[in-house]
Amino acid sequence: MFAVLQLPNFHLQAALRQEPGALNGPAVLLDEDPLVKRSRDRIRITQLARAATDAGVEAGMTATQGQARCPGLRIVTRSTPAEQAAQEILLQWAGSISPRIESTGDGLCTIDLTGTRFDREPALLGDRAGDAFTRLNLIVQVGIAANPELAFLAARFADNRFLDGEHICTSAAPSPGLELREQVAAYTPGPVSGSSAAQLEFGNRSFPRAGQPACTGSPAGERPANRQPATAAVRIVTPTAGAAAVFLAPLPVEALSVPAEISTVLRAWGVRTLGELVALPREGVVERLGPELLPLWRQLGGGEPRPLRLHRPAEVLTEAMDFEHHVERLDALLFVLNRFLHSLEVRLAEMYLVAESLTLELRFENGAPHERLFRIPEPTRDTDLLLRTLHTHLEGFRADAPIVGVRLTAVPARQPRQQLDLFQPSLRDPNRFAETLSRLEALLGTGRVGSPEHLPTHRPDAFRVVPFDPPADGALPGTRQPAVRFGPTLRRFRPPLPATVELRRELDAETLLRLSAGEVRGPIRTSRGPWLASGDWWDRHVWERREWDIELADGGLYRVAEQQGRWQLDGEYD
């Protein structure tokens, strides 16, 4: 069995996905209409929400004509980042159902259900799809059949109000010669009375109806009362004998999106439905209309399914938006980011994963974009915690220009599992600790908070500050048993104490006589050294030093060093 997921009115849904409830109001999408000859008049209404159709707005109208019929009409344009995010959501959700998926077109995905539980119980796929896409503020239609083409038609006509065979309408006329799977027609049925307008029933399960784009079959001003929120419409064409013929019987021939000349010939023959077309002798039709119809004919007749062009979904989750009005306030940006995080939480939950890192990208009216990577110490999908992380960074961020677009990318990972030793301490809340470090960095400046890391050099106290990264097992740094060392411990003075050393030079030997460094002073009883060290001779920061271990007359053991002609007291031995 194959399943096709279709997001009707895909471009309109993508543009309004971050605005819950917007599709329940009168909204339309403006885009170029290829049927209009004059280029300056090509910007027309191409996709409509059902409320806009109920108000009398029709596909092909200009924005002015639409607003004349519906003064409160919401007009949007296509958003490439939003469409990419919506398509990514569709494919990644399909990838959680089966590894064999195909990106068939915009807002269209084909799934091979072989070997999955939905191959045996296909109706359950509608339940899961409806729940997931409703939480993502998307409307989905599901078609399930024995081959991809039948499943496509089942998804396209999941609403049984379109099975009367009287009319079919599309958001835009299809281009001649394109394959069926690349023609995603959107439509809105006319008014239906009774409870059938609220739900579809298949077996013992009922699914709320999906919203559809505009169609001229609905009278102006008529709007069903108490409309229920749309989720998923599902149609299943069982592989039993004759089921495909019964399903195809009322469908209009225009559903195939065949070239105009073939459609004209079929009408001249009196063929109006797919059922009538399939009933004709196959050899005679192919001989008269060409071999292009032969593969499609086999598919409609329930033949062997075509191989899918397998697609591998993206391994990261992305939410993006281009702003209609430039954003200059932090609260407005955080409002959008909160929507993004809620959507990412739902998508991660559907895949049983968590986020191990976030990447925030801000695009400005002028200048280079700002990009920041946030590593999550303990991977999670907690929206509040992730929002606080972003908020802490943005509080200290200053931009020279308004923000015109934002993108948030999450890298998913499996929930980490770890087993600590009985007496091994760990961070009580790694994410809360990371949030505290972020707040400190916002106060002290970038690069001033973190963990010290030794540099690959012999220069004493050479280190740099790197972001704190707790070990994978959750243990606190420094809690492991150190290696056994022999000899006294040197306790360094940081910074080293300036010192004055009296010495006597005899030929090639130097004898240290007396030390004076603050409260540490006195004659030197014995000394060992010097030990020479140098490095970075290839760089302008070349260094060279000499070290001695000394014992004062009072028994104190110390280390002194000479560097660039200056003496200093490095530390004291226990």
Per-residue confidence (pLDDT) for residue 235, from 0 to 100: 84
User: What backbone torsions phi and psi does residue 516 show, to the nearest 5 degrees?
Assistant: -140, 110
- Residue 438, pLDDT > 60, answer yes
- H or E stretch covering 466: strand 463-466
19 and 135 inside one domain: yes
ω into 495 cis (within 30 of 0): yes
User: Would you state the pLDDT for residue 37?
Assistant: 55
Higher pLDDT, 94 or 190: 94
CB 257 within 8 A of CB 180: yes
Range of the domain at 511: 490-573
Q: Is the pLDDT of residue 337 over 90?
A: yes
Residue 163 sits in a domain whose CATH number is: 3.30.70.270
pLDDT number for residue 201: 31
Task: Give yes or no: residues 521 and 427 share one domain.
Answer: no
Q: Does pLDDT of 313 surpass 50? A: yes
Contact 281, 275 (CB under 8 A): no
Q: Above 60 in pLDDT, residue 548?
A: yes
For the whole prediction, is pTM greater than 0.85?
Answer: no
Do 499 and 427 fall into the same domain? no
Helices (H), 76-115: 80-97
Q: Are 185 and 277 in contact (CB under 8 A)?
A: no
Is residue 152 in some structural domain?
Answer: yes
In a domain, 551, yes or no: yes
Q: Is the pLDDT of residue 126 over 80?
A: yes
pLDDT of residue 195: 29
Query: Among 240, 269, 302, which residue terminates a domain?
Result: 240
Of 61, 50, 56, nearest to 25 by C-alpha is 50
Q: In terms of domains, do 462 and 536 share one?
A: no
Question: Average pLDDT, whole number, for the chain?
Answer: 77
Are 423 and 502 members of one domain? no
Q: Cβ atoms within 10 A of the Cβ of 132, count?
A: 20
CATH of the domain at 373: 3.30.1490.100
- Residue 22, in any domain of the structure: yes
* pLDDT above 80 for 369: yes
3-state DSSP assignment of residue 447 = coil
Q: What is the mean pLDDT of residues 342-363?
A: 90
Residues 6+ apart with CB under 8 A from 418: 472, 473, 474
Same domain for 115 and 27: yes
Q: How far apart are CA 261 and CA 264, in angstroms?
A: 5
Query: How far lies 574's CA from each of 198, 363, 461, 500, 553, in Å?
Result: 84, 58, 20, 22, 16
* pLDDT at residue number 41: 65
150 and 77 within one domain: yes
Question: Does position 568 have pLDDT exceeding 90, yes or no?
Answer: yes
The 8-class DSSP code of residue 175 comes to P
Tell me the percentage of the chain whose pLDDT exceeds 70: 77
pLDDT of 210 strictly over 70: no
Q: Of 344 and 250, which is predicted with more confidence?
A: 344
Confidence tier at 184 by pLDDT (50, 70, 90):
very low
Q: Does one domain contain both 443 and 350?
A: yes
Residue 301 lies in a domain: no
Say whether pLDDT at 190 is over 70: no
Q: Which of 84-88, 228-232, 351-355, 421-425 has the lowest mean pLDDT?
A: 228-232
Residue 571 pLDDT > 80: yes
Domain count, the chain: 3
pLDDT classification of 442: cutoffs 50, 70, 90:
confident
**87 φ, ψ to 5°?**
-65, -40
In the chain, the percentage of residues whose pLDDT exceeds 90 is 23
Indicate whether 472 and 511 sit together in one domain.
no
Q: What is the pLDDT of residue 302?
A: 60
Least Cα distance to 7 among 193, 233, 245 occurs for: 233
- Asked if pLDDT for residue 102 goes beyond 80, the answer is yes
Question: Which of 444, 478, 512 is the last residue in one of the domains?
Answer: 478
Query: For residue 35, what pLDDT band results from cuts at 50, 70 and 90?
Result: low
Output the 3-class SS for 243-284.
Answer: HHHHHHCCCEHHHHCCCHHHHHHHHHCCCCEHHHHHHCCHHH
Between 357 and 487, residue with greater pLDDT: 357
Provide the 3-class DSSP secondary structure of residue 42: coil
Please give the pLDDT value at position 562: 93
Which of 419, 444, 478 is the last residue before a domain boundary?
Answer: 478
User: Given a cut of 80, is residue 259 above it in pLDDT?
Assistant: no
- Do 389 and 359 lie in one domain? The reply is yes
361 or 430: whose pLDDT is higher? Answer: 361
pLDDT tens digits, one per residue of 276-298? 877 777 778 777 877 767 766 66
Is 265 within a domain? no
pLDDT of 377 > 50? The answer is: yes
pLDDT score recorded for residue 277? 79
Which pLDDT value is given to residue 187? 30
Sheet (strand 370-380) strand order: 317-327, 403-413, 354-364, 370-380
Rounded to an integer, what distance in angstroms lies between the CA atom of residue 478 and that of residue 464? 18
> φ, ψ for residue 44 (rounded to 5)?
-130, 170
pLDDT tier at 480 (50, 70, 90 boundaries)? low
**CA separation for the pair 268, 251 (Å, rounded):** 18
Classify 126 as helix, strand or coil: helix
Would 323 be classed as within a structural domain?
yes
Residue 171 has a pLDDT of: 31
Could you tell me if residue 281 is inside a domain? no
113-124 pLDDT, tens per residue?
999 989 888 888
Shared domain check, 547 and 421: no
Q: What is the pLDDT of residue 509?
A: 81
**234 found inside a domain:** yes
How high is the pLDDT of residue 11?
93
* In a shared domain, residues 201 and 134: yes
- Residues forming a β-bridge with 327: 403
| Element containing residue 342 per DSSP (H, E) | helix 330-350
Kindly write down the DSSP assignment for every residue of 474-522, as one continuous string: -BPTT-SPPPP--SPPEEEEEEEEEEEEEEEEETTEEEEEEEEETTEEE
Kindly indicate the confidence band of residue 420, based on its pLDDT and cuts at 50, 70 and 90.
low
- The whole-number pLDDT of residue 168 equals 31
pLDDT of residue 253: 76
